[in-house]
């Protein structure tokens, strides 16, 4: 206290500078928000997003899967793309973009199961089914078999992809027959199959004869 009194009496200019600096510090401290404001604002931002179970959150995610991934063929890697995430923040700032792993291991497999169950129920009402099948090999020499079922419902022709799956081993008639058997039994249509359309390769001919002898 004595030092401050001495400073104010003997060194007025220095004392005034000291007081000015002191007042500025008080103003700065008064204008600085408390830590509680930061915590509350962060909590508000989190609560401002849709919950994962909300109908709006699910609707946008379903649209991304059905329209962009399946309909447009966009890669799943777009979920990690900064431009896509920015686009979604403009569309709906509250939307929480799922990660690629969530789509790959959870959401899309659920969609596949739902589609398969609906297709099984649909084929159960059909009296006859025709199949087309083919084997395709990609650039890495990985082979896949695709089987499509064709039916008539109320006079209208319908086609449904029953399976597109890897086919391991050699493309022998026995292996093809095994894969075809698993597919038709999964949908419980073995007794409903009237025709099987394939190319004229000998392995396909052998598989058709062994699996569907009534077609010959």
Q: What is the pLDDT of residues 99-116, one digit of tens each?
A: 999 999 999 999 999 999
Q: Give Rg (Cα) of the chain.
A: 34
CB 149 within 8 A of CB 131: yes
- How far out from the chain centre does Cα 119 lie? 21
CB 125 within 8 A of CB 149: no
Beta strands in the chain (DSSP E): 129-137, 143-153, 156-166, 193-197
The domain spans of the chain are: 49-115, 127-215
Q: How confident is the model at residue 216 (pLDDT cuts 50, 70, 90)?
A: very low
Antiparallel, parallel or unpaired: β 156-166 and 193-197: unpaired
CATH for the stretch 127-215: 3.30.420
Residue 159: CB atoms within 10 A of its CB come to 10
Q: 27-46, pLDDT tens digit by residue? A: 555 555 666 555 555 544 55
Identify the pLDDT of residue 39: 53
Full-model pTM: 0.63
């Amino acid at each position: 206290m004595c030092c401050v009194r001495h400073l104010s009496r003997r060194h007025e200019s220095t004392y005034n500078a000291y007081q000015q600096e002191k007042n500025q510090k008080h103003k700065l401290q008064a204008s600085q928000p408390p830590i509680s404001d930061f915590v509350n604002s962060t909590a508000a931002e989190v609560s401002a997003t849709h919950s994962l179970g909300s109908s709006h959150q699910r609707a946008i995610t379903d649209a991304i899967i059905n329209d962009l991934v399946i309909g447009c063929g966009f890669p799943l890697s777009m979920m990690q793309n900064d431009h896509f995430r920015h686009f979604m923040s403009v569309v709906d700032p509250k939307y929480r973009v799922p990660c690629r792993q969530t789509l790959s291991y959870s959401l899309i497999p659920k969609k596949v199961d739902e589609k398969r169950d609906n297709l099984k129920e649909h084929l159960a009402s059909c009296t006859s089914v025709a199949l087309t099948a083919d084997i395709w090999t990609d650039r890495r020499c990985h082979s896949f078999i695709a089987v499509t079922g064709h039916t008539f419902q109320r006079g209208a022709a319908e086609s449904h992809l029953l399976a597109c799956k890897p086919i391991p081993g050699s493309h022998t008639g026995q292996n093809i027959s095994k894969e075809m058997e698993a597919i038709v039994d999964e949908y419980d249509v073995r007794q409903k199959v009237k025709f099987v359309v394939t190319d004229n390769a000998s392995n396909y001919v052998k598989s058709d004869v062994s699996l569907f002898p009534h077609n010959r």
